[in-house]
Amino acid sequence: MKSFEIPPFYRSTFIGRIKSLRKDSDPRKKDFTPTTLDFGPVRFHLGRHFGFCYGVENAIEIAYNTIEGNPGKRIFMLSQMIHNPTVNQDLQDRGLSFIQDTEGNQLADWDDIDSNDIVIIPAFGTTLETETLLRSKGITTEKYNTTCPFVEKVWKMANKLGDQDHTILIHGKFTHEETRATFSHSMAKSQSIVLKDINEARLLGEIILGERPINEFQKHFNGRYSADFDPLIHFEKIGVINQTTMLASETHEMAEYFKSVMEEKFGAEKIKDHFADTRDTLCYATNDNQQSTYALLDLEADLALVVGGYNSSNTSHIKELCDTKFNSYFINGSGEIMDSNTIHHYNYDRKEHLISTFFLPKKPIVDIVLTSGASCPDSVVEAVMDKILSFYPTAKTKEELFSTLG
């Protein structure tokens, strides 16, 4: 796989060496067992895969090269390039400005942006409407388009489904930049609707089967389906795609559920005429990170630290999985760990900042699961590790520990 030139302060020499050891021993990435780092009084259990993915590193490389190669020019990005505050703040410190926030609210007036400016498309991609607006202003984006190729793969699947006259069901978060972009591309080819979870899927299934009145369609899904969508005629053929950072198990559950709905409505012998078996459209990194998290759940640990931006969808799902086994804390960096007793953390679902005390148990050996999302720099994860280690003066140094590995 291609390697990218990204600023060295996003790298971690220590974690990089750990990852290199795992890659050398498992080049085909078949082994998802965690890496245990035994520092003595504290043991960290690292996920097999975590941190920057292909799409993120590609976007970072393009953004920094654009800033370096265009001194004196105004450089904008449509929205946050990735969902990580460290990366986005550094880009702003270097002069880059955001046109919208992550919810699509305007931060810069489109009337103030013209063909003399550079506009970077973030890794999430953008809508067809925004692409048209940029072209109308004479702004070319091909050179500055950092859309993740795995997001574009989802759009190709949507095109294929549309060409086969399938209505497209998108498993995603409607306010997320990627889902808004996918919805735009999808409904250009076919009728489309966005569903956030299995509960909404079941509600829609009951409408399709006539178990709920048809007027509940607009009531529950208003604003999340394409224009001229008619639930009486547009559920003859369906296919499921997803935001690439969703929880794979839920996408699978939704797809299997809709397959059963179509079998009930049209008969199992005709299912191929009414349901497209698309599997899921997760990116490889999301899949690897989630599989690595499932392997972490086989461990016994005192707590889990999940590191990433608080608006990061893929990180939120890693935290969601960790919650099933551990006392888990979603943090955006070492600054959230105030001392050995107090940690600031985040509830993604409620969008709520929390404070917990006595998060580190008082015991001879503390076991900590440590992992991160695909948009989190390894240097941030290492800083979290260093902060925890500072509370254990008898712990081995990282060099002492590394000498015992591999």
Query: With a threshold of 0.85, does the pTM exceed it?
Result: yes
Is the same domain home to 332 and 383?
A: yes
Is the same domain home to 84 and 140?
A: yes
Taking the chain (406 residues) in runs of 10, the rounded mean pLDDT of each run is 86 94 91 96 97 91 95 93 86 94 88 96 94 95 93 95 97 94 97 97 98 96 96 97 92 95 97 89 84 97 97 93 97 97 96 97 97 94 98 95 78
Q: Are 246 and 196 in contact (CB under 8 A)?
A: no
Whether residue 3 lies inside any domain: the answer is: no
Is the same domain home to 44 and 78?
A: no
Q: Find the CATH number of the domain harbouring 263.
A: 3.40.1010.20
Q: Quote the CA–CA distance of 406 and 38 in Å, as a whole number.
A: 13
Is the same domain home to 344 and 232?
A: no
Whether residue 41 lies inside any domain: the answer is: yes
Residue 406: per-residue pLDDT: 58
77: enclosing H helix or E strand: strand 75-77
Is the same domain home to 159 and 271?
A: yes
Is the same domain home to 398 and 288?
A: yes
User: For the chain, what is the domain count?
Assistant: 3
Residue 102: per-residue pLDDT: 80
Is the same domain home to 193 and 243?
A: yes
Longest dimension (CA), the chain: 69
Is the same domain home to 261 and 330?
A: no
Residue 103: per-residue pLDDT: 77
What is the residue range of 44's domain? Answer: 8-53+284-402
Q: Are 96 and 75 in contact (CB under 8 A)?
A: yes
Residue 83: per-residue pLDDT: 82
Q: Quote the CA–CA distance of 395 and 133 in Å, as a whole number.
A: 57
Q: Quote the CA–CA distance of 20 and 109 in Å, as a whole number.
A: 45
The amino acid occupying position 309 is G
Helix (H, G, I), strand (E, B) or coil at 43: strand
Whether residue 312 lies inside any domain: the answer is: yes
Whether residue 396 lies inside any domain: the answer is: yes
Q: Which residue bears the tokens 């996408």?
A: 251
Distances (CA, A) of 157 to 99, 179, 239, 263: 29, 14, 10, 22
333 — alpha (psi -120 to 50), left (phi > 0) or beta?
Answer: left
* Of 276, 300, 319, the domain-final residue: 276
Whether residue 1 lies inside any domain: the answer is: no
Q: Find the CATH number of the domain harbouring 123.
A: 3.40.50.11270
The two three-digit tokens of residue 168, written as one number:
């497209």
Whether residue 2 lies inside any domain: the answer is: no
Is the same domain home to 61 and 137?
A: yes
Looking only at the bridges linking them, the beta strands covering 35-38 and 42-46 are antiparallel
Is the same domain home to 351 and 362?
A: yes
* Of 127, 144, 161, the domain-final residue: 144
Is the same domain home to 46 and 92?
A: no
Is the same domain home to 59 and 48?
A: no
Helix (H, G, I), strand (E, B) or coil at 188: coil
> Which residues are the active-site residues?
178
* Of 276, 301, 320, the domain-final residue: 276
